[in-house]
Amino acid sequence: MTLWEAVVLGIVQGLTEFLPISSTAHLAIVPALLGWQNPDLAFKAVIQLGTLAAVLWYFRWDVITIVRDVFTNGPKARLGWMIAVGTVPVVIGGLWLKPQIKHMNDSLLVMALALIGLALVLGVAEWFARRRPHGKELADVGWREAIAVGCSQAVALIPGSSRSGCTIAGGLFFGLTRETAARFSFLLSLPAVFAAGMHELVQQRHSLFASEAVTWNLIVATILSGIVGYASIAFLLGYLKRHTLWVFIGYRLALGLLLLGLIATGRLGGS
C-alpha cells in the first residue's frame, strides 16, 4: 500500500462509517475499481479506531456522563448497561463467525447483495417511520429497543450491510426517531469497534507494523478517518432532523446493481 492509497482509504472510511452505506463495502469497492489490492480485515478494523475517536469526541459529554453514572448509579446508568447488553450479540457473532466474515470480506458479490438487501430493509423501516406521528427519543429507549438494535448490529457483520444502516433500521422498526436511532447507533458502536480494533491491533501487530512505511500508512489512514468521520457524524445527525433515508436507500440500490453488473460482465471479480 502506498501513502496515497492510505490517504484515500482513510477518507473513504471516515465518509462511509457513519452514513448507512457500508464502509466495508467501499473499502473493497474503491481499491477494486482503482486496481489496488484489497486491504485486509486487520487494516480495516484498526483504522476504525479513528472513527471511534470521532464518536468519543463528538459525544464526549454523553460518554463521560454515562460512564460516571454507571459507577455512581446515576440517571444515565441504565443507558450505559443497555449499551453493554446491546453489544453482546455482535461480540458473540464476531467470535463465532470470524472465519466466514474474513472470507466474505473479499467477496464483492456478497457486498453487492448486502447493499441491495439492506436498502430494501431500510425502505420498509422508513415506511414504518413515516406512518408514526411521533418517535421515541433517547430517554425513551428501553431494554426491548436496546436488545433489538444490538441484534441488528450483529447483522452488520455481513460485509456491505453497514453497522449504522442495520442499527438505524432496527431503531426505526422499534419506534425511535431517525436522529435518535442514529445517536443510539453511534453510542452502541463504541464497545464493539474498540474491541474489534484492539483485537486486530494486537493479533496482527507484526504485519501492521512490519516496516516504517506500513506503520505510517496505518497512522495516516486512522487519523484521516477520525477527522472526516467527525464531520460525517455532524452531517448525518443534522440531515436526519429534516430529511428521510431515501437518498441513502437509492444510493445503496444503485451501487449494488452497478456492482452486480460489473461482476456479471467480468469487469470485477465477485468471489
User: CA–CA separation, 166 vs 151, rounded Å?
Assistant: 9
pLDDT, averaged in runs of 10, over the chain (271 residues): 94 95 92 89 88 95 95 94 94 84 84 96 93 85 93 93 94 93 93 86 84 92 96 95 94 96 85 64
Q: What residue type is assigned to position 154 of the chain?
A: A
pLDDT, position 270: 66
Beta carbons of 169 and 121 less than 8 angstroms apart: yes
User: CA–CA separation, 110 vs 13, rounded Å?
Assistant: 19
- Number of residues that this document lists for the chain: 271
Phi, psi (deg, nearest 5) at residue 131: -85, -10
Cell numbers representing residue 146 in the block: 436496546
Q: Give me the sign of the Cα torsion angle 246, 248, 251, 255.
A: negative
pLDDT, position 271: 64
Cell numbers representing residue 221 in the block: 489512514
* Domains of the chain, residue spans: 3-264
Residue in 226, 234, 237 with CA at minimum distance from that of residue 53:
226
Residue in 55, 61, 31 with CA at minimum distance from that of residue 229:
55
